[in-house]
């Protein structure tokens, strides 16, 4: 799967987690995390990937299960590595 499709799938999963826990919009999650709604929008649209610290905060705020948290961290790290490789021309 190409990187853009992976990023979009990642964003949809993040959005599903947000809805499941009861945050109806990105602003509500942003307030809970003390960040900007644009930041949440960028994660959900695949424009940016959360840092490790932010990923951990998302896990806590979205009340992910242990298995979901492990999968989320693994996906976050894999996307970060793939994006870095692509940026350096190592496809």
- Domain CATH for 69: 1.10.260.40
Write down the pTM of the prediction.
Answer: 0.90
Residue 22 belongs to domain spanning:
3-87
pLDDT in tens, the chain (91 residues): 699 999 999 999 999 999 999 999 999 999 999 999 999 999 999 999 999 999 999 999 999 999 999 999 999 999 999 999 988 886 5
Q: Determine the pLDDT at residue 86.
A: 87
Q: Determine the pLDDT at residue 1.
A: 67
Furthest CA-CA distance within the chain: 40
Counting the structural domains of the chain, the total is 1
Q: Determine the pLDDT at residue 90.
A: 67
Instruction: Give CA angle at 13 (5, 71), nearest 5°.
Output: 95
């Amino acid at each position: 799967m190409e990187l853009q499709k992976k990023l979009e799938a990642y964003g949809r999963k993040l959005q599903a987690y947000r809805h499941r826990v009861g945050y109806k919009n990105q602003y509500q999650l942003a307030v809970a995390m003390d960040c900007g709604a644009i930041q949440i929008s960028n994660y959900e649209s695949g424009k940016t990937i959360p840092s490790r610290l932010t990923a951990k905060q998302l896990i806590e705020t979205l009340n992910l299960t242990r298995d979901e948290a492990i999968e989320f961290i693994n996906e976050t790290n894999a996307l970060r590595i793939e994006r870095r490789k692509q940026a350096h021309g190592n496809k």
